[in-house]
Chains A and B, each alone.
Chain A
């Protein structure tokens, strides 16, 4: 089954404790992206990657890191989480090439709470 998977699905952590949210896709997609979704603010892009070893900042990259060492994986790293990073996070992937990049498949989401 073609899918984007994220782990963990739910996470409660404390301020300052480094964490990683994993994202993996089995569709051989070149483009991958991370979003956060907050009430009243909508869905905002954190980072995206056009291909292996190529990453770019989205609209809200502060406090996050990403890496793209393999085509299928795109982990999101919070080096020192803070309460304002409490949010619902989505990973997405798509084919590269023209507007196909924006026809994205989303993972199931990770609900993160930072206390």
Chain B
């Protein structure tokens, strides 16, 4: 089992819809979780971090964490074509940061 798993997609949603991106992790001891966004040809940028069970909202983005089930998700409300990118889930392991392979999101106008 990979340490951090994501569906590679592509996930296609219409403009204005809710995009739901999921990530599962194997280390039950993980305490913090991160979502990075990577536009095609660009470098990753941090968009959300979450440390405790439940929801964390930041504008149109909501991160959800369920430690018992070992999954973390990212919801994007009112999706825009500018949200089209690859979303990377990342989980720390010691001093290292382990990334999932990323989910490609395409928002169609």
Chain A residues proximal to chain B, CB less than 8 Å: 33, 40-45, 48, 50, 56, 58-59, 90, 99, 101-109
Cβ–Cβ contact A45 & B96, under 8 A: yes
Residues of A within 8 A of B51 (CB): 99
**Interfacial residues, chain B to chain A (CB-CB below 8 A):** 31-32, 34, 42-46, 49, 51, 88, 90, 92, 95-102
Of all chain A residues, the one with the shortest Cβ separation from B6 is A42
Question: Count of A-B contacts with CB under 8 A?
Answer: 52
B101 touches A42 (CB 8 A): yes
The CA-CA distance from A103 to B32 in the complex, in Å, is: 10
Closest to A31 in B: B95
CB-defined contacts of B96 to chain A, threshold 8 Å: 45, 48, 58-59
Q: Complex: how many Å from CA A102 to CA B32?
A: 9
